A and B are shown apart, each in its own frame.
Chain A
Amino acid sequence: MKKLINDPAKTVDEGIAGFALAHPDLVRVVVDPPFVIVRADAPVAGKVGIVSGGGSGHEPLHGGFVGYGMLDAAVPGAMFTSPTPDPILEATKQVDAGAGVLHLVKNYTGDVLNFETAAELALAEGIEVQSVIVDDDVAVKDSLYTAGRRGVAGTMLVEKIAGAAAERGDNLDKVAEIARTVNSRVRSMGMALAPCTVPHAGEPSFVLADDEIEIGIGIHGEPGRERIALEPADRIVDRLMEPILEDLPFERGDRVVLLVNGMGGTPQSELYIVFRRAAEVLAERGIELARSLVGSYVTSLEMQGVSITLLQVDDELLGLYDAPVHTAALRWGR
């Protein structure tokens, strides 16, 4: 393991300390209980608070999206481990302005259980909380026999659009409904060329031969559903696009936001190669590319790989997507 760290046990703390020093205009960091990142001007009077969180190692998710027009607070857990209920409760209290708080939770068992507990504690303290579970990953079969689909890169689109709804003054019911709508219209699928190494584990999360790739990975370095031989980028993109397009399904005449997300160790140039083919596939199917986003937003440490996300939009969702946002990792219109 070769990493730019001091002590494997301190990677999360030191990264957050640096994040706080770099962005004092946007956020403040609460260290007791540890690791709550709160929008600098929270609580914003009259506004629904939005809290998200999960294991660290997916930066800029979620801390990078705290600020105007997106999240009010992020709760990072230990590396790839969901946070415990105490800091989630603290974040909820810090951003509550009396209009209630929305928890946006990726569908991983640990995240769901800890946010559920925190929501119960917040309710006991008189704070109205609603939760929306994000589960956009089509690699996982949605059945009674699994814990359901995972929440992956589509999470940032849910955060952006729900954040815009909260910023324009929608009430808690409405913001939660919009978040559920986005979740119901967003689908993702990822792949890895090479695994990542969790610092305290010291060993790669899985092993791939030089000529092998994993299709259908999650964002925690967990293995995917299928291991195949390396192929040209266009063929890989087709493999990812096919199940996404069929799942919703996305149809001729639909308008979509296309997010090509790097897993942390993939150059921007390769992401654009992926984007090129994904856009081509949309054109072939008569699906309109309404907005484009290309970059590493929901990562898995230094994993090499990419995920593709499609969000079906109407005028309202597109308006909320375009609304101004000012966070460390996403900024436009302001």
Chain B
Amino acid sequence: MTALDGAWTRRWFEGVAAEVSRRKGELTALDRAIGDGDHGENLDRGFQAVLGKLDALDDAPTPGAVLKLVATTLISTVGGAAGPLYGTAFLKGAMAAGDRAELDAAALVEVLTAARDGIVARGKAEPNDKTMVDAWTPAVEAARSAGGDVRAALSAAAEAAAAGAVATEPLVAHKGRASYLGERAVGHRDPGAESTALLLRVAAETA
């Protein structure tokens, strides 16, 4: 079993940067349908900046140190709602990780829970509001009930986030820009939930 250490955290975000770059057009198209069509571009700007910062890290950072670096970089480069939301998520995750050198399954669940709670506190959205909370909440629950293995917990979180993203399609949006569309948002997947699914999928794949 791969340890969820600082090297993994770094691999995770390098993978996310590559995947966001590859899928930014798709994320932007989802956002164009119900928002203002910039989600992919904004995340790509943020994670490309993260890549540059990761290169400057010392040899053996803790997971918490990597998460904090990602958080501050996203807050200062992404803008929109996604910047503060993902920034807060990873900042709270970093605080939960503390100075542990490795995350075991219990610590991973703490990190994911703190991240989700941070998003809820910042964005004031609840489940079924058609936001990234609809991917984060089932992901946290799945990780928690996956048992003692961190890879199993990450895989379960990734699968639950992906299903949560798909499940936003029939919802009416209550938060964010899509809420201005009323019923017209129905039938479209929430771009924030989809990017959350992407993040957690890469987390599982790099573990």
Contact = CB atoms under 8 A, between A and B. Distances in A.
Contacts of B79: 55, 77-78, 81-84, 110, 114
B41 A200 contact: yes
Contacts of A108: 81, 177
Interface string A210-234: 0000000010111101000000000
A198 B36 CA distance: 9
A80 B77 contact: no
A147 B181 contact: no
Nearest to B183: A225
A78 B38 contact: yes
B83 interface: yes
Interface string A110-142: 100110110000000000000000000001110
Contacts of A33: 76
A223 B188 CA distance: 13
Interface string A81-121: 11111100000000000000000000011100110110000
A85 B122 CA distance: 14
Given A78-B42, A221-B37, A113 B179 contact: no
Residue of B36, B38, B41, B176 ringed by the most chain A CB atoms within 10 A: B36
A147 B173 CA distance: 9
B36 A205 contact: yes
A177 interface: no
A39 interface: no
A206 B79 CA distance: 22
A80 B76 contact: no
Interface string A233-246: 00000000000000
Judged by DSSP, the binding face of B is helix
B182 interface: yes
Interface in B21-78: 28, 32, 35-38, 41-42, 45, 75-78
A140 B179 CA distance: 9
A86 B136 CA distance: 27
Contacts of B11: none
Contacts of A269: none
Residue of B77, B175, B179 ringed by the most chain A CB atoms within 10 A: B179
Contacts of A141: 182
Interface of B: 28, 32, 35-38, 41-42, 45, 75-85, 122-123, 174-177, 179-182, 184
Interface of A: 33, 55, 77-86, 108-110, 113-114, 116-117, 139-141, 145-147, 150, 198, 200-201, 203, 205-206, 218, 220-223, 225
21 contacts: A80-B36, A81-B38, A81-B79, A82-B81, A84-B79, A85-B84, A86-B76, A108-B177, A110-B84, A113-B81, A116-B84, A146-B175, A146-B180, A147-B177, A201-B41, A205-B36, A221-B36, A222-B35, A222-B177, A222-B180, A223-B181
